Chains A and B, each alone.
Chain A
Amino acid sequence: GQQLNQSPQSMFIQEGEDVSMNCTSSSIFNTWLWYKQDPGEGPVLLIALYKAGELTSNGRLTAQFGITRKDSFLNISASIPSDVGIYFCAGQLISSGSARQLTFGSGTQLTVLP
């Protein structure tokens, strides 16, 4: 089945620093998404990517859909304390007009130190 490898598993950074995390897949996806989850809450969508090579920003967040369609990256610039949380990548394959369910990575736990 499809598997997503997300790295790093955890990160400790100083406030103000930039951070990068990535996801790789054994299969091709035609949609990549990035979610953030706070403790005790459901995941919240940050960025959706629909085209290979696409680079999309949402405020201080920038994500890219890899050319091979098997990877994606998320960058956070100038981190702030509220960036703390778990970041998940998710991939989806749409074929023949039907969307398969999302496959999630195992998450990157981000801690921002003051």
Chain B
Amino acid sequence: DTGVSQNPRHKITKRGQNVTFRCDPISEHNRLYWYRQTLGQGPEFLTYFQNEAQLEKSRLLSDRFSAERPKGSFSTLEIQRTEQGDSAMYLCASSWPNTGELFFGEGSRLTVL
């Protein structure tokens, strides 16, 4: 399977703990995106990379959030000192540049207790 892969699929953590999600994009794609989705809403943009460069960050991405794509391949999204409001599905997607045809992974669902 050469689709976008995310892990873990589910994460339950206590408030204040740090969590990290990993995304492996489609290998031919040089753009990688992180979105957040809460119940009953569409995905909301967090940040994106072109190769290893992080080109844009949303205001939703507070200081507790950090994303990396060190070698231009896989990416990680870390949330420090988690809060209950961080509970959501975190979606990763990849694409070629200048196209809206994003291919999404299955998502990582975070529950903060």
Q: Are B42 and A107 in contact (CB under 8 A)?
A: yes
Q: Are A31 and B41 in contact (CB under 8 A)?
A: no
A contact residues around B41 at 8 Å (CB) = 106-107
B40 contacts the other chain (Cβ, under 8 Å)? yes
A88-101 near B? 1/0 per residue, CB < 8 Å: 10111010011101
B contact residues around A94 at 8 Å (CB) = 98
Main SS class of interface, A: strand
> Using a CB-CB cutoff of 8 Å, which residues 66-91 of chain A contact chain B?
88, 90-91
Partner of B106, one of A6, A41, A91: A41
Partner of A41, one of B40, B44, B98, B107: B107
Interface size class of B (residues with CB under 8 A): 20 to 34
Closest to A1 in B: B59
Q: Are A104 and B91 in contact (CB under 8 A)?
A: no
What total of A-B pairs shows CB separation below 8 Å? Answer: 62
B35-46 near A? 1/0 per residue, CB < 8 Å: 000001111110
Q: Are A42 and B91 in contact (CB under 8 A)?
A: yes
Partner of B100, one of A42, A97, A102: A102
B65 contacts the other chain (Cβ, under 8 Å)? no
| Chain B residues within 8 Å of A, Cβ to Cβ | 4, 6, 33, 40-45, 48, 56, 58, 91, 93, 97-107, 109
Q: Can you give 20 contacting A-B residue pairs, CB < 8 Å?
A: A33-B100, A35-B104, A41-B106, A41-B107, A42-B105, A42-B106, A43-B43, A43-B91, A44-B104, A45-B102, A45-B103, A48-B100, A88-B42, A97-B98, A99-B98, A101-B33, A101-B48, A101-B56, A104-B42, A107-B42
